[in-house]
Amino acid sequence: MKKETILELLERRKFKDLKEKLESMHPVDIVEMLEDFGTRQAILIFRLLAKEEAAEVFTDMNSDMREDLINALTDSELEEVMGEMYVDDTVDVLEEMPANVVDRLLMATDEDTRKKINVLLQYPEDSAGSIMNVDYVSLRREMTVADAILKIRQVGINKETIYTCYVTEKRKLIGAVDVKDLLTAGESWLIEEIMDENVLLATTLDDQEDVAKTIKKYGLVAIPIIDHENCLVGIVTYDDAMLVLQDEATEDISIMAGVSPNEDSYFGTSVLQHAKHRSLWLMLLMLSATVTGELLGHYEKAMAAMPVLITFIPMLMGTGGNCGSQSSTLIIRGLAVGEIQFKDIFRVIFKEVRVALAVSFLLAVVNGIRIYIMYDQDIMLSAAIGITMMAVVVIAKSVGCTLPLVAKKLGLDPAIMAAPLISTILDTCTILVYFNIVTTIFHLRS
């Protein structure tokens, strides 16, 4: 148990041993450990970390702990940490802190970094510019491979990634060289001989999710980011892309459950914030469901004449909702990973209708047999519920697959067309279809 060992060393004030232990730990693991410790202990341990490690730990920790730490550190300690941080990480930290803390942090950074920070702070949230790294290695076309390696040696030690170097001319991006190519090429070759001129790139204002998807699609280590004048201004690396994709998946999943997306963690969000993020949809869906209720009230006489009809309502509404959600979820995910596009709408509907016919036939038969056995071999009742079931499933799957595609086309987030909304819409359809079919078959007055 590493955590216990660390605590013991801390209590016994064996700082030298403690320092050694911490050096062998990964910053990510140190952060996880500190989150379990008290503030006083966390600060003591933080002070024992080597400069570079301290900066990484500082970057990774949650914002509450970071604020406590900033309040505890002296100006010169803070300056040291900030000096080791990457500019893009500093910007991320600043965006989460209250104004008075931001002032203190900015005081602790040097003039040059402050300028870079200000540029980055101007990019819109969720843009490539807001997550890009401004540290990268740039080469010139007339350099030899040996020159290039020398340049990497000199400057590369502070760059977050050097796996791909970029070739620029008057700050414009003209090519890229993989470190692999540098190492496997002859020393006297020119960069322009080995550089790849077909460079995949993105611009500062591109959506971070699109940039992350490009990185994933092409298996890139990093993608260069250019500004509106086509000048190279930064790179987005694969590790940032992984986090963006995970956050986007979490956001989609939240919306699909009728929860407004939230960038904080589950425990990091207060009860009132949670309530706020969930109330809007609940309210909307609750009021929509009253329509279904009123409609149901409208068929009061039919139900009074044939009370058994009531018992099939939960099953029909449930099956309709589930069928619709299955379809909408598959389409929403297909849109998110780029496998389905709006132009596929007719292919999708044709496929879903056939799936619906197959599925509903099976459900209707199983259910028909159940009703036949349980309700005194009433074949008419079996048939009526079976026909309703098939109609409900076909409608549910058609609506379920169409709405996300339409939302996408209208520029809305397809994820809103998930289970909660689809079920509520389909509940009304189910009641309408059901009572229209049974009142006709059994000659009931509605």
Q: Within positions 332 to 371, which residues make up the interface with its own copies, using CB under 8 A?
A: 333-334, 337, 339-340, 344, 347-348, 351, 354-355, 358-359, 362-363, 366-367, 370
**Residue of the chain from 97, 102, 289, 383 that contacts its own copies (CB under 8 A):** 289
| Binders in 180-199 for its own copies, by CB under 8 A | 180, 183-184, 198
**Residue of the chain from 419, 425, 429, 438 that contacts its own copies (CB under 8 A):** 419
Q: Is 253 in the site for its own copies (CB under 8 A)?
A: yes
For residues 79 and 89, which CB has a smaller minimum distance to its own copies in the complex?
Answer: 89
**Residue of the chain from 15, 37, 86, 238 that contacts its own copies (CB under 8 A):** 238
For residues 90 and 325, which CB has a smaller minimum distance to its own copies in the complex?
Answer: 325
Dihedral sign computed on CA atoms, order 159, 163, 169, 173: negative
| Binders in 153-172 for its own copies, by CB under 8 A | 153, 156-157, 162-163
Q: Shortest distance, CB of residue 243 to its own copies, whole angstroms?
A: 7
| Binders in 101-140 for its own copies, by CB under 8 A | none
Q: Is 310 in the site for its own copies (CB under 8 A)?
A: yes
Q: Is 26 in the site for its own copies (CB under 8 A)?
A: yes
Q: Is 179 in the site for its own copies (CB under 8 A)?
A: yes
For residues 70 and 244, which CB has a smaller minimum distance to its own copies in the complex?
Answer: 244
| Binders in 371-400 for its own copies, by CB under 8 A | none
| Binders in 196-215 for its own copies, by CB under 8 A | 198, 200
Q: Shortest distance, CB of residue 73 to its own copies, whole angstroms?
A: 25
Which amino acid makes up residue 110? D
